[in-house]
Amino acid sequence: MSLTPAPSTDENIERAAGHLRAGRLVAFPTETVYGLGADARNGEAVAEIFAAKGRPAFNPLIIHVPDVETARTWAELGALAERLAAAFWPGGLTMVLNKRVGGELSELVSAGLPSIAVRVPAHPVALSLLRKANCPVAAPSANRSGHVSATTAAHVAADLDAAALAMILDDGPCAFGVESTIIDARGDAVQLLRPGAVTIEALAKVAGTVVKGASASSHGAMARSSPGQLESHYAPAKPLMMNVTQPRPDQALLAFGALPEGYAGEVYNLSPSGNLTEAAANLFAGLRRLDETTVKSIAAMPVPMDGLGLAINDRLKRAAAPRS
């Protein structure tokens, strides 16, 4: 059964905003493609996005906000970012920026990275929804993993399971039909991470030089822990072992479910009750916490390979891979 899209009346937008605040998922139109949104402060709601998309890996997500003032509460906009925001927001430009410390965004939104991707969409329904919800909305394109991005409400309904989302707001086909342009705007020059709705020429007029391609950078924790690795993939600096049932005393334990009998070492439990949604929501915060301890390595307990367990194991596997 697919969910019947709801026309984008004020009343329905109000209902959709209520669903977001209650931790449920809502698909909504933007001028680029339809987004599958969740309250970015709610880790379990964000985890449900990955479950709904059937995505076997955690990619960092874009947060959507109604204006540049709100963007400034979640991210640090330098001089370059301010100029770009003035020129292109609202619109099809997503900027990767430094996350404000002490904010309440779920670590899962940025997949553990110190950066955050932010966009102010130029669509009246999206803007109205964001204002009414009054929370940052994490949203990837509203399609199943591996499928093309949905550009109509009917595509969303056909692609995603009705049980996974509370509502699809329908405002007809998207004007652009291609995703936003993503840039890293933390340095002095724009780095293009994904071409999209805003052209390189338009960016260059405002920003001068646009450096193409490289999404690896010298910013933040990644460069420190594993040079050369793409920054869009956080991994702990400490070595990690998977599927450990009997951790050694010199290991910190990333637990799932009941702890091994008698274990008294450093521990972070992803989900004491063995709930995969809760575990996904806690994954990056847990890795970070254990990475900050003085123990030599991290031992991760087995996590079942179904539903969100696939994405959790994917991330643990990357963290466990030998580093050069």
Question: For residues 193 and 299, which CB has a smaller minimum distance to ligand TXA in the complex?
Answer: 193
**Nearest approach, Cβ of residue 57 and Mg ion (Å):** 12
Per residue, the 3-state secondary structure of 140-205, as one string, reads: CECCCCCCCCCCCHHHHHHHCCHHHCCEEEECCCCCCCCCCEEEECCCCCEEEEECCCCCHHHHHH
The residues pairing with 26 across neighbouring beta strands, listed in sequence order, are: 37, 167
Q: What, of ligand TXA, Mg ion, none, does residue 65 touch, CB below 5 to 8 Å by kind? A: none
The residue from 106, 232, 269, 282 that contacts ligand TXA (CB under 6 A) is: 232
141: contact with Mg ion by CB under 5 A: yes
169: contact with ligand TXA by CB under 6 A: no
Calculate the alpha carbon distances from 65 to 91, 123, 153, 229, 321 in Å: 11, 12, 21, 29, 36
Residue nearest Mg ion (C-beta atom): 141
**Nearest approach, Cβ of residue 149 and Mg ion (Å):** 5
CA angle 293, 296, 302 (to 5 degrees): 90
* Positions in 131-160 near ligand TXA (CB under 6 A): 139-141
Residue with tokens 């204006």, as numbered in its chain: 67
Question: For residues 180 and 271, which CB has a smaller minimum distance to ligand TXA in the complex?
Answer: 180
**Nearest approach, Cβ of residue 114 and ligand TXA (Å):** 8
The residue from 96, 120, 252, 298 that contacts ligand TXA (CB under 6 A) is: 96
The residues pairing with 96 across neighbouring beta strands, listed in sequence order, are: 117, 184
Find the helix or strand (DSSP H, E) in which 33 lies. none
Quote the tokens at residue 27.
Answer: 């698909």
181: contact with Mg ion by CB under 5 A: no
* Positions in 42-71 near ligand TXA (CB under 6 A): 59-62
Q: Please report, as ranges, the residues that interact with ligand TXA according to CB under 6 A.
A: 30, 32-33, 35, 59-62, 94, 96, 110, 113, 115-117, 119, 139-141, 179-180, 182, 193, 232
